[in-house]
Amino acid sequence: MMKQVVIGGALAIALSATTAWAQAKPAPAKPAPAKPAEAAPARRAGGSTNQGEGHTAPKQQPNTAPVPSVPTGDLALGSVSLRKAVKADGKTLPAGTYQVRLTAQQATPDAKGQTAPAERWVEFVRGGKVVGREVVTIVPQAEIALVQKDSPPARNGSKVETLKGGDYVRVWINRGGNYYLIHLPANA
């Protein structure tokens, strides 16, 4: 009986080792189905195209929108009435009516992902004097639905709104096929 147990145990070990070996052994390669001929990737200047199997050269991504047509010089945007004091460029701008004028000066440093001419400075003018200035974002009329969900101001009009929470006032001007969005911190 002892011989049978030893032989049975040895047989079980041999079978389990054979099974483990068979599972670890890689399966024979199957021939790949025929593929249509593909064009070779373009060579980059100064480099090789061998970048590892399955890797292709990066494709040029299309622009998400054409470069917007925005005014390049100074432009009078109209007048707005602020119902409460706000901060413009870190300085207090008291409640009142102001003429808003777009300047040719681009906002710096550049906002990544923005079109440089679409981030500019506006001036708030009262009694012929510049009393404040702030950065404006210029949005072409065709793109406003991508940026803003509220109803826009009428053509050549403006809206001044206190945003949810009361921390910011948005001045929104519609002029010449573009929207001008100015966000001013509420003066605390």
Residue 80 lies in a domain: yes
- β-partners of residue 99 are 79, 125
Residue 183's H or E segment, with its range, is strand 178-185
pLDDT tens track of the chain, all 188 residues?
545 544 545 445 554 544 544 455 555 555 555 555 555 555 555 554 555 566 666 777 666 655 556 677 888 999 999 999 999 999 999 999 999 999 988 887 655 555 556 789 999 999 999 999 999 998 888 888 887 788 889 999 999 999 989 999 999 999 988 999 999 999 75
Instruction: Let me know if 173 is exposed, middle or buried by CB neighbors in 10 A (0-12, 13-18, 19+).
Output: buried
Task: Tally the domains of the chain.
Answer: 1
Report the number of secondary-structure helices (H) and strands (E) in the chain.
2, 9
Residue 68 lies in a domain: no
101 touches 128 (CB < 8 A): no
Residue 167 lies in a domain: yes
Query: Which range of residues forms the domain containing residue 173?
Result: 75-185
Answer yes or no: pTM beyond 0.75.
Answer: no
- β-partners of residue 121 are 135
Separation CA 137–CA 119 (nearest Å): 5
Residue 39 lies in a domain: no
Residue 50 lies in a domain: no
